[in-house]
Amino acid sequence: MNSLLRVEHVTISYNGKPMVEDVSFEVKQGEILGIVGESGSGKSTIIKAIMGLLGEEGLVTRGDIWYKGENLTDMSEKKLRKLLGTEIGMVFQDCKAALCPVRTIGAQIYEAVSEHGKISKKEARKRAGEIMKKIGLDDSDRVLDSYPFELSGGMNQRVGICTAMILHPNLLLADEPTSALDVTVQAQIIELLKRLQQEMDLSILLISHDLALVQHLCDRVLVMYQGNIVEQGIPERVINAPENDYTKMLIEAAMLGQ
């Protein structure tokens, strides 16, 4: 498999203080890579760096982030915005919170699509309906005419996935996409992501603290602690035969919580 995304010796600082240090990894075409670790380990900071969302206080102070041979860390904001949506999609932890409460789902999806080219509302609605069918939202007209507060948490999360996938990106960034959902809906979203990956040869970078999810969904996993990668490998090996003390502690904590 070809490398789609490469993070090379990246250090990310906030107000001059390193939060992620000398991190390197790659995501291959059609692969699901998971990054696990406790809150504050630097997992979400990496996704923000890829998306150019570190804010005024955050900065990639060392290293490079490459996507299809182009350096995202040196890319202009205008060019990066063109990539986001068309090439790189994003699913947030709580998609309902990321949606505007006073605009319909259809209006918000149309706005997201129209930023990347001329498209009629009818065509945008058609595309959204096609994606919604793939992700288990058969009543797409009702969903598109609804406001976020009229939908369940699981439906809002599916809307977030639809918005991320409507332009058929090659890479999907998923930041704790199931943590705000109940166990039954979590399982549905996991299966949905797996199916999308298989049907569309999609690459996924999944951020999670849920080892069971990572073991079920991912091809490889990285374990982060205090801004560093402390272990990596296939999930079965990392979870069943961990080598790092922190990984062992993480697994023991997960088992106690079951």
- The pLDDT of residue 183 is 77
Give me the pLDDT at residue 178, please. 78
The confidence score (pLDDT) of residue 188 equals 79
Chain mean position to CA 139: 25
pLDDT at 19: 95
Those residues with Cβ within 8 angstroms of residue 6's Cβ, 6 or more apart along the chain or in another chain: 25, 26, 64, 65, 66
pLDDT block averages, 10 residues each, the chain of length 258 = 91 95 96 92 93 92 95 91 89 83 94 86 91 85 95 88 88 85 78 85 90 88 96 94 93 73
- DSSP alpha helix (H) spans, 13-92: 43-51, 77-86
Predicted structure pTM score: 0.90
Alpha helix segments (H runs only) across 9-94: 43-51, 77-86
